[in-house]
């Protein structure tokens, strides 16, 4: 079986001591592709550097809503420059996050819109982060033209948001949260959401799935999330694994023909 970790952060300091070992372990355990996702300008540059060292690793560039305080809108010009790199296959992660602070709502919205426009300009998939911002996010989505491909990463929203994503034809991506015993709402979403619109991710180094909960997450652990989806949907692991892998290839196929 083949797996595609569609969202992780191998550039983070948690991997500084053994990054190459982590990547080798992923490859040895059946991870066919990895998408490393930037959260600001420097992080995005690092994601490209890592991707250029490995044939099976690709990059996404963007500025995370919780990381905009040190940036001005003009800094999105640098993200746009980075988006032209052949290893970049998506824009993000971007979106809205009002969980920790609501003081910079307008600035978050401006950065989100700016990155939507970059994704549209270069026909790149958009990776959306959403936390405690459902209504504001939907308001923007309804007003601005989105790129053809959109994924709500680390989906942990309610059924209402899931229904909205389903109706819009968006992909959603599940993390290790899905394996947690108390994640009833997320499990319910996984149960009814069309398998044709599901991807998986580790969001490493965060959110390690059971049985690794509390430890540093790694790309190879993505298979445990696929296994949980198979259990929830009562479908054979091999069948779900194949479908989700093909979903991921299809989502990024224009930029990754390999």
Average pLDDT, integer, range 180-206:
97
Q: Distance between alpha carbon 90 and the CA centroid of its chain, in Å?
A: 10
Task: Say if residues 197 and 166 touch (Cβ distance below 8 Å).
Answer: yes
**Is the pLDDT score of 255 beyond 60?**
no
pLDDT at residue number 50: 98
pLDDT at residue number 157: 86
Burial of 113-134, coded b for 16+ CB within 10 Å and e otherwise, reads: ebbbbbbbeeebbbbbbbbebb
Query: Three-state SS for 35?
Result: strand
Q: What is the pLDDT confidence band of residue 101, given thresholds at 50, 70 and 90? A: confident
Residues 102, 128: Cα–Cα separation, whole Å: 18
Query: Three-state SS for 257?
Result: coil
Q: What is the pLDDT confidence band of residue 127, given thresholds at 50, 70 and 90? A: very high
pTM: 0.96
Q: What is the pLDDT confidence band of residue 258, given thresholds at 50, 70 and 90? A: very low
Fold classification of 3-252 (topology level): TIM Barrel (3.20.20)
Task: Say if residues 150 and 170 touch (Cβ distance below 8 Å).
Answer: yes
How distant, in Å, are the alpha carbons of 42, 234, 242, 255 from that of 227? 34, 10, 12, 28
Least confidently predicted of 200-204, 240-244, 251-255? 251-255
Write out the DSSP string of 70-132. T--GGGHHHHHHHHTSTTEEEEEEEEEE-SS--TTHHHHHHHHHHHHHHHHHTT--EEEEEES
Average pLDDT, integer, range 222-236:
98
Q: How many CB atoms lie within 10 A of CB 222?
A: 32
Beta carbons within 8 Å of 35's beta carbon, 6+ residues apart: 4, 5, 6, 7, 8, 57, 58, 59, 60, 89, 90, 201, 252
Average pLDDT, integer, range 157-161:
92
pLDDT at residue number 254: 56
Average pLDDT, integer, range 212-238:
98
Task: Say if residues 247 and 198 touch (Cβ distance below 8 Å).
Answer: yes
Average pLDDT, integer, range 232-255:
92
Q: To which residue do tokens 């290839």 refer?
A: 249
Half-sphere exposure of 68 (CA within 13 A, CB side): 30
Q: What share of the chain is helix, strand, coil (3-state, %, to 5)?
A: 50, 15, 35
Average pLDDT, integer, range 18-34:
98
| H or E element in which residue 173 lies | strand 171-174
The string of pLDDT tens digits covering residues 40-82 is: 999 999 999 999 999 999 999 999 999 999 899 999 999 999 9
Q: What is the pLDDT confidence band of residue 38, given thresholds at 50, 70 and 90? A: very high
**What are the structural domain ranges in the chain?**
3-252
Residues 241, 200: Cα–Cα separation, whole Å: 10
Average pLDDT, integer, range 179-198:
97
């Amino acid at each position: 079986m083949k797996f595609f970790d569609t969202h992780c952060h191998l550039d983070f300091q948690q991997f500084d001591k053994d990054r190459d070992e982590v990547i080798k372990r992923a490859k040895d355990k059946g991870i066919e592709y990895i998408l490393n996702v930037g959260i600001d300008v420097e992080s995005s540059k690092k994601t490209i550097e890592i991707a250029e060292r490995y044939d099976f690793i690709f990059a996404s560039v963007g500025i995370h809503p919780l990381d905009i305080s040190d940036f001005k809108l003009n800094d999105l010009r640098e993200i746009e420059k980075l988006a032209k790199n052949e290893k970049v296959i998506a824009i993000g992660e971007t979106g809205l996050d009002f969980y920790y602070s609501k003081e910079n709502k307008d600035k978050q919205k401006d950065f989100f819109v700016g990155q939507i426009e970059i994704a549209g300009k270069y026909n790149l998939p958009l990776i959306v982060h959403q936390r405690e911002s459902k209504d504001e996010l939907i308001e923007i989505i309804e007003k601005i033209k989105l790129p053809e491909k959109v994924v709500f990463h680390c989906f942990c929203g309610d059924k209402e948001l899931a229904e909205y994503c389903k109706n819009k034809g968006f992909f959603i991506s599940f993390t290790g949260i899905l394996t947690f015993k108390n994640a009833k709402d997320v499990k319910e979403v996984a149960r009814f959401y069309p398998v044709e619109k599901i991807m998986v991710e580790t969001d490493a180094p965060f959110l390690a799935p059971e049985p690794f909960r509390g430890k540093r997450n790694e790309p190879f652990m993505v298979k445990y999330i696929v296994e949980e989806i198979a259990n929830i949907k009562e479908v054979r692991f091999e069948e779900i694994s194949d479908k989700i892998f093909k979903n991921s290839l299809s989502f990024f196929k224009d930029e990754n023909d390999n």
